[in-house]
Amino acid sequence: MISKPVAFATALLIASPALAQTGDAARGKAVFARCMACHTVDPGVNRLGPSLAGVVGRTSGTVPGFAYSPAMKNAKIRWDTKSLDAYLAKPIANMPGTKMVFAGLPNPADRANLIAYLATATKK
Ligand code: HEC
């Protein structure tokens, strides 16, 4: 049942040489618990942070109706495994002025697993 999304995530990660670790989407789901106070993976459901539905592959700051910081709005980053990895390691250091008040995920394996989860769970 989970083989298809896992295969997709694996292909995505292999396609990104900058990412040293291969993510495990099932483990990433557990890591996502740390994001759920502020984010959902449901399209159009914004909390303190914007919906992360379809986040992998979209441009930063583009969820309709969400009041982004000027920093995020102007960043125009394409969210992929590499840019998400950098942002999630240290959001505020990576993007001065972001209003995402989250210390970051210091463990690279946590980030790789989480990004694998986001790539599968939020695919439209
Ligand atoms: C305390 C609330 C909070 C937590 C916890 C949090 N975020 Fe955020 N997040 C935000 C806010 C607020 C923004 C909008 C930032 C801005 O406009 O500068 C945001 C923005 C983002 C964006 C950019 C989205 C876009 O549409 O461009 C991503 C990606 C993201 N968060 C991922 C995560 C992940 C993954 C986690 C868990 C590891 C997490 N966030 C934890 C509040 C949070």
Residue found by looking up tokens 């790539």 in the block: 119
Q: Which domain holds residue 61?
A: 3-121
CATH code where residue 70 lies: 1.10.760.10
Q: Which atom of ligand 1 is nearest to the CA of 63?
A: 26
Q: Which atom of ligand 1 is nearest to the CA of 69?
A: 17
The pTM of the full predicted model, rounded to 2 decimals, is 0.86
47: its two tokens: 């909390």
What's the rounded Cα separation, in Å, for the pair 110 and 85?
10
Please, what is the end-to-end C-alpha distance for the chain in angstroms?
18
What are the pocket residues of ligand 1 if the criterion is a CB atom closer than 6 Å to any ligand atom? Answer: 34-35, 37-39, 48-50, 52, 55, 60-61, 63, 68-69, 71-72, 79, 84, 88, 98-102, 105, 114
Rounded alpha-carbon distances, angstroms, from residue 68 to 60, 79, 101, 106, 114:
10, 15, 13, 24, 22
How many domains, the chain?
A: 1
Q: Please state the rounded mean pLDDT for residues 111-121.
A: 94
Instruction: State in Å: Cα 67 to ligand 1 middle.
Output: 12
Instruction: State in Å: Cα 11 to ligand 1 middle.
Output: 25
Q: What is the per-residue pLDDT for 22?
A: 77
Task: Indicate the pLDDT class of residue 8, thresholds 50, 70 and 90.
Answer: low
What are the tens digits of pLDDT across the range 49-94?
999 999 999 999 999 999 999 999 999 999 999 999 999 999 999 9
